Structure 1
Amino acid sequence: MARSWQLWLSPRPLVRTDTSHEPTILAANEAARFEFLQEGNRWVVQETHYIDNPIARKGLSGPQLHIHLRQTEYFQVQQGVLGIYKNETEHIVTKADGTVEVPAGTRHRFFVHATSQEDVIFRVWADPQDLDHSFDENFLRNFVGYLRDCQRQGIAPSPFQIILFGMNSATVPCLPFWVPIWILRAVAYVLAYWVAEGLLGYQASYPEYNRRSGGGGGRGNGDNNKKRI
């Protein structure tokens, strides 16, 4: 539990919504839906970004620029038009493009492309899987759950918490201009483990969000099953 002075330094949700056993969760402002699937030994997330939602329509329902240090990310669009920014190039991706690969170490982000006339539905996964500290379902559940609870409780998300989530999954945020990966990684390490975890008392994963940690019993209505910090 966070101490009072840590709450004063960096406010956070007073309760966390238990979605650890929910197969589908909504993003902040209900701009997108995440459905967690298992295909053999591989986890896959099917994301639906709603074109009628102003956040999605402005291309803001996806993440900011980031790098996966250890894994290649794959996208398969099923409906609509997805924009993927890879290094310095914007790519327009539709179902006809099949599987699109974003190699490890690539600066990238994805978003609802301005030309899309319908909800954008796509599947995304990363390989190799089952690594320690990798981009996986645990990361997405924590990241999406935290941002949603911040939005519902009127709290600005902490960049330190977000960086800690990222470092726990070998993912680092990027600046809008090129910076060597080793510098990004070093700065993110300090901010994640010295500031976020050591000083502010944030955690890299929360049982209310993370399926692997249990999260408080069986499946139920997340809004009615909450835990205090």
Structure 2
Amino acid sequence: MMAGWQLWLSPRPLRRTNTPLEPRMFSPSDAALYEFLYDDIGRFAVRETHYADNKVVQNGLSGPPLHIHLKQTEYFEIQQGTLAVVKNEKQVMLTKDDGILKITPGTRHRFWAHSPAREDLIFKVWAEPQDGQHSFDENYLRNALGYLRDCQMQNINPSIFQMALFGWSSDTLFITPSFWVPLWILRAIQFVAGHLIGVFLLG
């Protein structure tokens, strides 16, 4: 049972939808479809489809906020449309003719469907290595997307402490300003917000 001060400090959805068992799920506002894929050697990847006729996509808000992967390299392979990416404050546009984009660990980045989107954006994204205990994987995506979708459907602002905990569990920094800050400071802030406050204080 949550205390009132805990709910005040970190509002949460009153009802949580079951994490779907299907190999796909939608983001908040049905802006994007996430399909979970595994190749012949068991490598995990996600095919994302950002729908051009969705208002969230048209406003350039269908991707994640600025974040940093601490241990994994992230790869993007565009299949249709144009992906906008910011890497350490530099913006680039990518299509399928540009090959695979590589985001190395420690790179502050975000991505979204380039606006105005004239067609659905479809791309495959994966991260390596995939054998770490905390990583960008299916469990992380199901938990984070399910939480954000429940918040959106119940008109609740996502808790920064919950998001920090999701990030901590996947070695991803989500408390990331647009300007440069040493990684050790960002890691310390997220550890306090996600692990100490999120786990021990807020449960």
The answer, yes or no, to whether TM exceeds 0.5 is yes
Which residue of the partner structure matches residue 94 of structure 2? 93
Shift, 1:114, TM fit: 2.0
Which residue of the partner structure matches residue 31 of structure 1? 31
AA aligned to 1:28 is P
Which residue of the partner structure matches residue 10 of structure 2? 10
Contact kept? 2:79, 2:123, Cα under 8 Å: yes
Q: What per-residue deviation string (whole Å, max 9, x for no partner) do you get for residues 6-27 of structure 1?
A: 2243221112111241211011
Shift, 1:38, TM fit: 0.7
Deviates more, 1:112-121 or 1:176-185: 112-121
AA aligned to 1:110 is F
**1:198 aligned onto 2:194:** no
Distance 2:116 2:52 in 1: 11
- State how 1:61-72 maps to structure 2 within 5 Å: 61-72=62-73
Of 181, 185, 206, 2:187 maps to 185
- State how 1:209-228 maps to structure 2 within 5 Å: none
Shift, 1:58, TM fit: 1.2
Contact kept? 1:36, 1:44, Cα under 8 Å: yes
AA aligned to 1:188 is Q
Shift, 1:115, TM fit: 5.0
Query: Tell me, what secondary structure is at the counterpart of 2:149?
Result: helix
**1:116 aligned onto 2:117:** yes
AA aligned to 1:89 is K
Which residue of the partner structure matches residue 153 of structure 2? 152
Distance 2:49 2:2 in 1: 34
Which residue of the partner structure matches residue 53 of structure 1? 54
Distance 2:105 2:116 in 1: 28
In structure 2, relative to structure 1, the CA distance for the partners of 1:115 and 1:28 (3 Å cut) is closer
Identity over aligned residues, as a percent?
A: 56
Structure 2 residues without counterparts, runs of 5 or longer: none
Which residue of the partner structure matches residue 133 of structure 2? 132
AA aligned to 1:91 is V
- Higher RCO (C-alpha under 8 Å, 6+ residues apart): 1
Which residue of the partner structure matches residue 209 of structure 1? none
AA aligned to 2:82 is V
Query: Tell me, what secondary structure is at the counterpart of 1:163?
Result: helix
**What's the TM-score, normalizing by structure 1?**
0.84
Give the superposed CA RMSD: 1.3
Contact kept? 2:63, 2:112, Cα under 8 Å: yes
**What's the TM-score, normalizing by structure 2?**
0.95
Which residue of the partner structure matches residue 217 of structure 1? none
In structure 2, relative to structure 1, the CA distance for the partners of 1:20 and 1:131 (3 Å cut) is farther
Shift, 1:158, TM fit: 0.6
Distance 1:115 1:50 in 2: 12
Contact kept? 1:82, 1:116, Cα under 8 Å: no
